[in-house]
Amino acid sequence: MIRTKFLNFLLFFVSVVFFSYLFYIQCFKHQYYENRAKRQHEKKFVLLGARGNIYDRNGVAIATSEQCFSVFCTPRYAGDVGRLTREIAKVSGKSRSRIKKQIGSREFFWVEMKVDKRQRDRYLAIDDPSIGYTHDLNRRYNMPEIFASLIGKCGSDNRGIEGLELQFNDILSGETGFAIYQKDPTGGIFPYHNHPEKEPRPGRDIYLTIDLQLQAILHKNLSDCHRSEDAQSACGLIIEPGTGDILAMVNVGKDGDQRNHIICDEFEPGSTFKLMPLTYALQNGVKEADIIDTEDGKIRVRGHLINDYRDYGIVTLRQAIAHSSNVAMVKLSRKFDRERFLLMVRDFGFGEVTGIEFPGEVRGRLPDGMKINDVEFATLVFGQGLTVNLLQLAMAYQAIANDGVLNKPTIVREIRRGPRVVYETKTLRIRRVINAPTARRVTDILCTVVEEGSGTAAAFNDIKIAGKTGTAQKVVDGTYSNSSIITTFAGYFPAASPDYLIILMVDEPKSGYWASTITAPVFRDIAHSIYQMNSHRYAVK
């Protein structure tokens, strides 16, 4: 009797434990076991949304994305480790010892990323359960050598890490989707209509203001100059003065240097900055024919000697600019209100970022009008003692070419999602910096620079060109160097109603010392190529 009761109690207890555990599994652990079953019977594939394309202003593709695959290995599922090592090494071209070490770690690793279908199938032909793959996207660049410093690049995760790829990463990036497939008992997969899925969504496309033809012309000429001069770098811009649209932006550097020196570097502008004292003087009553005595090409300011290239004697304001006289600028500036002059300089955009759609823009440096001394102000008016980036300098000339109106520089023309335009850039007028008649007087004097002054090497085909040369000594170990220089040339044409503004900079050229013989001829070659493209538009007036 006691045995029967004990047995009944034992059976009851076992039943309670069993059904309690069953209840626990069914109710409390339901989600856990359901997920575990899904992992055994289902396979989730992540579908990447294609990264948006980048086009030039005419719809020519610059950067596109294409479907590819990334192959991985999970060593703990490996069959014959020795065979797996040999086969992976054979297909990948990597050393067998390296593959053996990765497999021996028993940790997941990427065998090869961003491969085409043919290479993926070679890995799958190894027929080992440890080998798998994921869908991926590969970024392709059209003519990367001429766009490298502008477009930038993406990392292995398809996120932008440089240039416009970084600046517009959120716009270009697509949205990921997924698809769930059913597994059969042999491990094969097949689609199942009841399983959830989400379609990936591609990123938006960006249309730049850049013109591929102009970019190619600018790149070729700067590359030739960089090579012949053995310079540290050569860079330049082509801008549409009436809108501020950037039509070409090129940087050429040594040893694969892809830095955007135009936007990310600052330098002393030298004589191209003489645009500012010229403009201020004309605005404040000085006439083109007013006489300035350059005093044998030398002048002392509080014991500091300032020289001209040679003795220009007594010159008019027009001649002083044409021959780029430092002494004339110093004497002219003695009548300036320093604070008002520096305020006008800031109105032209110096000392402030331009707001260009590109990462890493430097602001440049302007002295404080309340603290600047006589020597500092004297050197400032011919481009020493301040720093600018090349785009700031270009936009100052753009304001003159645009009848005194400074525009915001733009590099993005449109953003589209498929065929639909979701954003379109409008010309943004920042401010009027000078009146139109004064701007035209400045242009007229800048034409003299090209016709009979330091910029004669920029002239061609009787096209009226307004321009200015600049040669600036670089600061080395705290003093101005007599051998390390930066040469610049800024010009626009046709002068009366400009279509193109071109600005060039060559850092540390080796063959000469003056912008008149280094950058001015490069301007001429670029402008002449553009003229030939559009010769029907330019009748001599």
| pLDDT tens-digit readout, 56-87 | 999 999 999 888 888 888 888 888 888 988 99
Residue 2 lies in a domain: no
User: Is there a single domain that holds both residue 231 and residue 198?
Assistant: no
User: Is there a single domain that holds both residue 343 and residue 482?
Assistant: yes
Whether residue 348 is predicted with pLDDT greater than 60 in this model: the reply is yes
* pLDDT, position 163: 93
- Asked whether 178 and 197 are in contact (CB, 8 A), the reply is yes
| Distance of alpha carbon 339 from alpha carbon 342, whole angstroms | 5
Range with the lowest mean pLDDT among 101-110, 234-243, 315-324, 342-351? 101-110
| Percentage of residues of the chain with pLDDT beyond 90 | 59
Whether residue 504 is predicted with pLDDT greater than 90 in this model: the reply is yes
Residues 331-346, mean pLDDT to the nearest whole number: 94
User: Is there a single domain that holds both residue 157 and residue 253?
Assistant: no
Residue with tokens 């932008």: 160
User: Is there a single domain that holds both residue 116 and residue 263?
Assistant: no
Whether residue 539 is predicted with pLDDT greater than 60 in this model: the reply is no
Q: Please, which pLDDT band fits residue 105 given cuts at 50, 70 and 90?
A: confident
User: Is there a single domain that holds both residue 381 and residue 435?
Assistant: yes
User: Is there a single domain that holds both residue 525 and residue 454?
Assistant: yes
Of 530, 506, 528, residue with least CA distance to 518: 506
Whether residue 352 is predicted with pLDDT greater than 60 in this model: the reply is yes
Question: Residue 145 maps to which CATH number?
Answer: 3.90.1310.10
| Distance of alpha carbon 453 from alpha carbon 449, whole angstroms | 4
Residue with tokens 């403009």: 279
User: In angstroms, what CA-CA distances link 525 with 453, 518, 521, 529?
Assistant: 18, 12, 6, 6
Give the alpha-carbon dihedral of 470, 474, 480, 483, to 10 degrees.
-90
* pLDDT, position 308: 87
* pLDDT, position 414: 96
| Distance of alpha carbon 404 from alpha carbon 13, whole angstroms | 97
Whether residue 122 is predicted with pLDDT greater than 80 in this model: the reply is yes
* pLDDT, position 242: 96
Residues 90-103, mean pLDDT to the nearest whole number: 89
The more confidently predicted of residues 511 and 145 is 145
Taking all residues of the chain, what is their mean pLDDT, rounded to a whole number? 88
User: Is there a single domain that holds both residue 202 and residue 225?
Assistant: no
Whether residue 285 is predicted with pLDDT greater than 70 in this model: the reply is yes
The token pair that represents 310 in the structure block: 């040679």
Neighbours of 167 (CB within 10 A): 20
Whether residue 39 is predicted with pLDDT greater than 70 in this model: the reply is no
Q: Where does residue 317 rank: exposed (0-12), middle (13-18), buried (19+ CB within 10 A)?
A: buried
Residues 454-483, mean pLDDT to the nearest whole number: 88
Q: Which domain holds residue 361?
A: 212-416+426-537
Residue 28 lies in a domain: no
User: Is there a single domain that holds both residue 266 and residue 406?
Assistant: yes
Residue 4 lies in a domain: no
Question: Residue 524 maps to which CATH number?
Answer: 3.40.710.10
User: Is there a single domain that holds both residue 81 and residue 143?
Assistant: yes
Whether residue 243 is predicted with pLDDT greater than 50 in this model: the reply is yes
Q: Enter the pTM of the model.
A: 0.84
Report the DSSP beta bridge partners of residue 42. 182
Of 54, 76, 56, residue with least CA distance to 65: 54
* pLDDT, position 190: 47
Q: How many domains does the chain have?
A: 2
The answer to whether the bond into 191 is cis (omega within 30° of 0) is no
Residue 185 lies in a domain: no
Of 224, 227, 267, residue with least CA distance to 510: 227
Residue with tokens 């491990």: 187
User: Is there a single domain that holds both residue 159 and residue 290?
Assistant: no
User: Is there a single domain that holds both residue 292 and residue 198?
Assistant: no
Residues 460-473, mean pLDDT to the nearest whole number: 92
Residue 183 lies in a domain: no
* pLDDT, position 34: 61
User: In angstroms, what CA-CA distances link 268 with 250, 392, 456?
Assistant: 20, 12, 23
Residue 13 lies in a domain: no
Residue 12 lies in a domain: no
Whether residue 10 is predicted with pLDDT greater than 80 in this model: the reply is no
User: Is there a single domain that holds both residue 394 and residue 286?
Assistant: yes
Residue 32 lies in a domain: no
* pLDDT, position 40: 55
